[in-house]
Amino acid sequence: MSLFRKKSLSALLSQADDSEKGLKRTLGPANLIALGIGAIIGAGLFVRTAAAAGQAAGPAVTLSFVVAAIGCALAGLCYAEFASMIPVAGSAYAYSYVTMGELVAWIIGWALIMEYALGAATVSIAWSEYLNKLLGGAIPYEWSHSPFESYTDSAGILHQGMINAPALVILLLLTMLLIKGTQESAFVNAIIVFIKVAIVLLFIAIGWKFIRPENHIPYMIPADTAPVTDQAGKVIADYSGWNKHGWGGVLGGAAIVFFAFIGFDAVSTAAQEAKNPKRDMPIGILGSLVVCTILYILFGHVLTGVANWQDFVDPEKGREASVAYAISTYMTGYSWLASAVTVAILAGFSSVILVMLMGQSRIFYTMSNDGLIPKSFGDLHPKFKTPYKSNWILFFFVGAFAAFVPGHVAGDLTSFGTLFAFVLVSLGVWILRVKEPNIERPFKTPMAPVVGVLGAIICTAMIVGLDKQTLTVAFGWMLLGLLVYFLYSRKHSKLQ
106-152 pLDDT, tens per residue? Answer: 998 998 888 788 888 888 888 888 888 788 889 998 998 888 888 77
Identify the CA nearest to 112 among candidates 132, 126, 92, 140. 92
Q: For residue 313, what pLDDT is reported?
A: 83
Q: For the chain, what percent of residues have pLDDT higher than 70?
A: 93
3 lies in some domain: no
490 lies in some domain: no
Q: Which DSSP helix (H) or strand (E) runs through 350?
A: helix 335-369
Would you say 426 and 456 are in contact if contact means Cβ atoms under 8 Å apart? yes
476 lies in some domain: no
Confidence of residue 407 (pLDDT cuts 50, 70, 90): low
CATH of the domain at 168: 1.20.1740.10
pLDDT digits (tens, 9 = 90+) for 442-455: 888 888 888 989 88
Would you say 463 and 258 are in contact if contact means Cβ atoms under 8 Å apart? no
In angstroms, the CA 173 to CA 165 distance is: 12
| Mean pLDDT value across residues 281-297 | 89
485 lies in some domain: no
Identify the CA nearest to 370 among candidates 226, 220, 496, 195. 496
Q: How far apart are the first and last CA of the chain?
A: 7
Q: For residue 321, what pLDDT is reported?
A: 64
Domain range enclosing 128: 25-461
Identify the CA nearest to 71 among candidates 304, 257, 243. 257
Confidence of residue 18 (pLDDT cuts 50, 70, 90): low
Q: For residue 315, what pLDDT is reported?
A: 60
Q: Does 316 have pLDDT greater than 70?
A: no
The SS3 assignment for 159 reads strand
In angstroms, the CA 69 to CA 65 distance is: 6
Query: Per the structure, how many domains does the chain have?
Result: 1
Buried b (16+ CB within 10 A) or exposed e, 289-310: bebbbebbbbbbbbbbbbbbbb
Confidence of residue 36 (pLDDT cuts 50, 70, 90): confident
Residues with Cβ within 8 Å of residue 92, at least 6 apart in sequence: 79, 108, 112, 265, 268, 421, 424, 425, 428
Instruction: Report the chain's mean pLDDT, rounded to a whole number.
Output: 83
pLDDT digits (tens, 9 = 90+) for 334-378: 888 888 888 888 888 888 898 889 888 888 988 998 889 998 888
Q: For the chain, what percent of residues have pLDDT higher than 90?
A: 18
Q: For residue 409, what pLDDT is reported?
A: 59
9 lies in some domain: no
Q: Which residue intervals of 137-237 are DSSP H helices?
A: 165-180, 182-208
DSSP 3: T
Confidence of residue 16 (pLDDT cuts 50, 70, 90): low
Confidence of residue 317 (pLDDT cuts 50, 70, 90): low
pTM of this prediction?
0.79
In angstroms, the CA 183 to CA 168 distance is: 23
Confidence of residue 231 (pLDDT cuts 50, 70, 90): low
Confidence of residue 99 (pLDDT cuts 50, 70, 90): confident
16 lies in some domain: no
Q: Most distant CA pair in the chain: distance in Å?
A: 73
Would you say 299 and 44 are in contact if contact means Cβ atoms under 8 Å apart? no
Q: For residue 167, what pLDDT is reported?
A: 93
Residues with Cβ within 8 Å of residue 392, at least 6 apart in sequence: 175, 179
Would you say 410 and 122 are in contact if contact means Cβ atoms under 8 Å apart? yes
Confidence of residue 260 (pLDDT cuts 50, 70, 90): confident
Q: In the beta sheet, which residues pair with residue 274?
A: 27
Q: Does 213 have pLDDT greater than 90?
A: yes
Q: Does 211 have pLDDT greater than 90?
A: yes
65 lies in some domain: yes
479 lies in some domain: no
